[in-house]
Amino acid sequence: MAAQESQENSSSISSTGASNTTVTATAPSTRRRIAQNYLLFWIDASIDQTSKYCENTLAQLRTVVNDVTICTQPDECMQLLDSLNDEKVFVIIPGYQGQDLVSKIHDMPTLDAIYIFCGNISSHQQWTKDWRKVKGVHNNIKDICDALKGGIKQVNQDLIPISFVTANEIMSDENLNQLEPNYMYTQIFKNILLKIEHNQEQAMQILAVYCRNLYSKNITELNVIDEFQRDYRPEQAIWWYTRECFIYQMLNRALRTLDADSIINMGFFIRDLHQQIVQLHEQQLPNYHGKPFIAYRGQGLLKTDFEKLEKIKGGLMSFNNFLSTNTNKEVSLDSAERESTKADMVGILFIMAIDPRVSSTPFASINEVSYFKAEEAEILFAMHTVFRVGEIKQMDNNGQLYEVELQLTDDDDEQLRQLTEFISKEVVGATEWERMGMLLVKTGHFNKAEELYKELLEQSLDDYDKDIYYHQLGYIKDKQGNYEQAVEYYKKALEIEKTNLPANHPSLATTYNNIGKVYVHKGEYSKALSFYKKALGICEQSLRANNPDLATSYSNIGEVYRLKRKYSKALSFYKKALKICENSLPANHPDLATSYDNTGSVYQSMKKYSKALSFYEKAVRIQEEILPENHPDLATSYSIIGSVYMFMGESSKALSFYEKALAIREKTLPTDHPDLGQSYNNLSDLCYNMKEYSKALSFYEKAIRICEKTLPTNHPHLAVSYNNIGKVYAHKGEHSAALSFYKKALEIYEKSPPANHPDLATSYNIIGETYKQMEEYSAALSFYEKALGIEEKALPANHFDLATSYNNIGEVYKKMREYSKALSFYEKALGIQEETLPKNHPDLQAVKENIEIVKQYL
């Protein structure tokens, strides 16, 4: 019951991501790839973007910040700031707009610093003292660039990804599921990348092309990229990393945001950097004479992260990146103190106890090989250094500055050992590249996974391996909404299985089920049913009557009948599945919860909400018992229960469950994950039903940003989001705006087979209703008739949706004063309603009244 772009094949495992590094703000650019942890907005209504002055200024700014956005209106800036989640933003404001705009944007969480750009410095020095994010008044761009460099250094320091594991979370595999995804996936990425052998020349070429696309208008960095490609050697990895050029910026952001394209393209560099630290560590180890020492790091932590840190005393803390520290306490304390002045941050001085004899992570003093020759000793730790958290002490009077003691874990640390073993089981595969493919699928990076599996397929000579790769490609294409190719891949897997396996082998049933599922997603339910029945035939031949796999086949068939709106048949198959699950599985088995969910879904479709709720509650009780409190399956169940309460008219209960689901998804999923978009859609629907249209529109727009970023342009979920936004505009009386979104949705449905899909009929009905509201009755009639044509072919003769369509057409004919035609359709609607509705139902009374009205005109 889960809430329900493809790349060309290439001979190398690579990716390119073009970035338009100077953007004129009109709306958030959801598909734009960002290379750094930060952006720069230059706001000035008087900017002439065609002038030489503007061109030169942008060139100077891009030597410091790659992504510069020009905003000619303050509202554009505010909209962009509100749309961002993962980046920090620096803003340049002209003096004449300063006071007014600063007051509006100062407290926005993504804003890091403001620079006032004005010829008259003295006129702004007094009022800017009241705003802590204003970092100075400047009368030339060079000074602003110099100030930006300091801010950027601190942002990179603060945004190092950190994960926390409490001591209680390492008691069982179930608890280990609660580990933060960033910790899990960066650890797995590291383990895989360090074992993969790279063709240095080919890998360098791939990375250089990728980087040139990201920095396409940044002359300074393009020159550095050329130098990197020409001169780089593995023994220079630390030198290049500490240079803080493009490679440093990209790597930091990629590991923080789990950007698989960047991580894989930089894979050889990550390995080289790790290996150089290891080599230096081995060379320098005798210099410590076995004596522990202290390293320091000063940075800011968001208050939400600091609250997590306070709760894990005795637990583990991981820096999911390469970690820079030094032996000079005063330098680190100065960094911490600077960050303690920010309202949303806590300044932290980490005091790290390092025992060279037992450390589990290599580290090295890098002064001799660093780009910068610093006076204090800089210690660089390999990626994913894990510490045990000790004492946390307040250092000031206002709770903004703390000292935190950390101890580097050793190889014998039991908690760390269990953690490592658990993670190694998460992603399996015969080779490191196979494991990488599994990881990419698991983290939702389908385009990169597709590219990788195609490469593996091209290299494979073994039928067993090819079968796996075809299955994975089928799954990826299904997730991308490219259903034709998904079926093609699954059928290729099926050909291999038919050649190598007996006709009743369970693997064939699995493949038939997978093909059936794709046809379900396509809306081709008869084809889906055909494949599901083939799978069922194998299961009934080869499995015992109480085998859970047989229950899966019954459930699949039940799902098709539910979607075909043949609810009694659907219920029959779901009950068969439920009976097997109840007889063969433990009372708290997750498959039993799924079976309860399925049964509830039929009752919900039948509008028997109380009965549906009873099954959903049985399912969620099992899930709450066996799953971590932030597991994605719980979020799905909470969303479903919320939807039932919404349809029952219990808005406060619906809101409670929707918010529980959203809280889990915001905590555990990337900010652009489709399930997060689903949560926003659910909240939008609820706000819409509560007539809070502005709130509804805000949530729908969040959902659409995610959909447009993560889904292909013809994906059905995108159509749903367009319809939802249209719906809000319609209720606000803005019918032209509504119609534009409805037509975007229709364009998707018309391109998605089959031609008689119920969603297409719904889309025609919605547009027909909009034209009716706009009093364009001929257009309304045309769309209503298209909808009816689909429904008469796809639905039983007494289906309630047919009554609705007959009534709609009757309404239009009445408005057009063609009363005999109106009467004919009203009577058809009445015939169905008398058969399916209670005698006192308001819809029934409304049709009878309309019949009496039109009779008066005949």
Q: What is the pLDDT of residues 639-671, one digit of tens each?
A: 999 999 999 999 999 999 999 999 888 877 777
Q: What is the rounded average pLDDT of the residues 289-305?
A: 91
Work out the number of other CB atoms within 10 angstroms of the CB of residue 458: 11
Q: What is the rounded average pLDDT of the residues 813-818?
A: 94
- In one letter, which amino acid is 390? G
Task: Give the pLDDT score at 167.
Answer: 56
Highest mean pLDDT among 55-64, 365-374, 385-394: 385-394
More confident call, 557 vs 166: 557
| Pairing assessment for the beta strands 323-326 and 401-408 based on DSSP bridges | unpaired
Q: 112 to each of 72, 126, 144, 161, how far by Cα in Å?
A: 20, 21, 14, 18
Answer yes or no: are the C-beta atoms of 57 and 9 closer than 8 Å.
Answer: no
Task: Give the pLDDT score at 30.
Answer: 34
Q: Are residues 208 and 69 in the same domain?
A: no
Q: What is the pLDDT of residues 26-60, one digit of tens each?
A: 333 333 457 777 889 988 888 887 888 888 888 88
Q: What is the rounded average pLDDT of the residues 248-276?
A: 88
Which residues lie below 8 Å from residue 73, measured CB to CB, with a gap of 6+? 45
The residue out of 426, 456, 477 marking a domain boundary is 426
Cα separation, 858 vs 818, in Å, equals 10
More confident call, 429 vs 583: 583
Q: Are residues 58 and 134 in the same domain?
A: yes
Q: Are residues 285 and 360 in the same domain?
A: yes
- Round the average pLDDT of the chain to a whole number and report it: 85
Q: What is the rounded average pLDDT of the residues 371-395?
A: 87
Task: Give the pLDDT score at 530.
Answer: 96
- For residue 401, tell me if it sits in a domain: yes
Phi, psi of 704 (to 5 degrees): -70, -35
Task: Give the pLDDT score at 174.
Answer: 42
Task: Give the pLDDT score at 413.
Answer: 56
Q: What is the rounded average pLDDT of the residues 428-437?
A: 78
Task: Give the pLDDT score at 2.
Answer: 36
CB-count exposure of residue 539 (10 Å: 0-12, 13-18, 19+)? buried
Cα separation, 199 vs 233, in Å, equals 13
Cα separation, 677 vs 703, in Å, equals 4
The residue out of 402, 426, 450 marking a domain boundary is 426
Q: Are residues 796 and 815 in the same domain?
A: yes
- For residue 50, tell me if it sits in a domain: yes
Cα separation, 775 vs 736, in Å, equals 12
- For residue 567, tell me if it sits in a domain: no
Task: List 40's β-bridge partners, or say none.
Answer: 68, 90
Q: Are residues 150 and 52 in the same domain?
A: yes
Answer yes or no: are the C-beta atoms of 186 and 258 closer than 8 Å.
Answer: yes
Q: Are residues 114 and 132 in the same domain?
A: yes
22 pLDDT exceeds 80? no
- Give the CATH number of the domain where residue 305 resides: 3.90.176.10
Q: Are residues 202 and 125 in the same domain?
A: no
Domain that holds residue 393: 162-426
Which pLDDT band holds residue 784 (cuts at 50, 70, 90)? Answer: very high
Answer yes or no: are the C-beta atoms of 194 and 340 closer than 8 Å.
Answer: no
Maximum C-alpha span of the chain: 107
- Give the CATH number of the domain where residue 75 resides: 3.40.50.2300
814 pLDDT exceeds 90? yes
Strands (E), 606-743: none
Q: 513 to each of 472, 506, 654, how far by Cα in Å?
A: 14, 11, 34
Q: Are residues 704 and 837 in the same domain?
A: yes
> HSE on the CB side for 448, CA within 13 Å?
25
- Give the CATH number of the domain where residue 792 resides: 1.25.40.10
737 pLDDT exceeds 80? yes
The residue out of 409, 426, 443 marking a domain boundary is 426
665-701 burial code (b ≥16 CB/10 A, e <16): beebbbebbbbbbbbbbbbbbbbbeeeebebbbbbbb
More confident call, 119 vs 269: 269
Q: Are residues 188 and 39 in the same domain?
A: no
Q: Are residues 150 and 230 in the same domain?
A: no
- For residue 500, tell me if it sits in a domain: no
Q: What is the rounded average pLDDT of the residues 89-93?
A: 91
- For residue 765, tell me if it sits in a domain: yes
Q: Are residues 87 and 192 in the same domain?
A: no
Cα separation, 665 vs 683, in Å, equals 13
Task: Give the pLDDT score at 177.
Answer: 41
Pull the structure tokens for residue 468.
Answer: 């796996």
411 pLDDT exceeds 70? no
Which pLDDT band holds residue 420 (cuts at 50, 70, 90)? Answer: low
- For residue 821, tell me if it sits in a domain: yes
CB-count exposure of residue 391 (10 Å: 0-12, 13-18, 19+)? exposed
More confident call, 22 vs 638: 638
Task: Give the pLDDT score at 23.
Answer: 41
- In one letter, which amino acid is 356? P
3-class DSSP state of 427:
coil
Q: In what order do the strands lie in the sheet with 378-381?
A: 162-165, 316-319, 385-394, 401-408, 345-354, 293-302, 323-326, 378-381, 363-365
Task: Give the pLDDT score at 443.
Answer: 67
Crossing angle for the helix pair 141-158 and 52-62, to the nearest 10 degrees: 30
Answer yes or no: are the C-beta atoms of 67 and 40 closer than 8 Å.
Answer: yes
Pull the structure tokens for residue 140.
Answer: 């030339």
4 pLDDT exceeds 70? no
- For residue 570, tell me if it sits in a domain: no
- In one letter, which amino acid is 790? I
Answer yes or no: are the C-beta atoms of 59 and 219 closer than 8 Å.
Answer: yes
Q: What is the rounded average pLDDT of the residues 241-256?
A: 89
- For residue 665, tell me if it sits in a domain: no
Q: Are residues 142 and 188 in the same domain?
A: no
Considering its fold, how many domains does the chain have in total? 3
Which residues lie below 8 Å from residue 206, measured CB to CB, with a gap of 6+? 12, 13, 14, 265
Cα separation, 529 vs 553, in Å, equals 10
Which residues lie below 8 Å from residue 579, measured CB to CB, with a gap of 6+? none
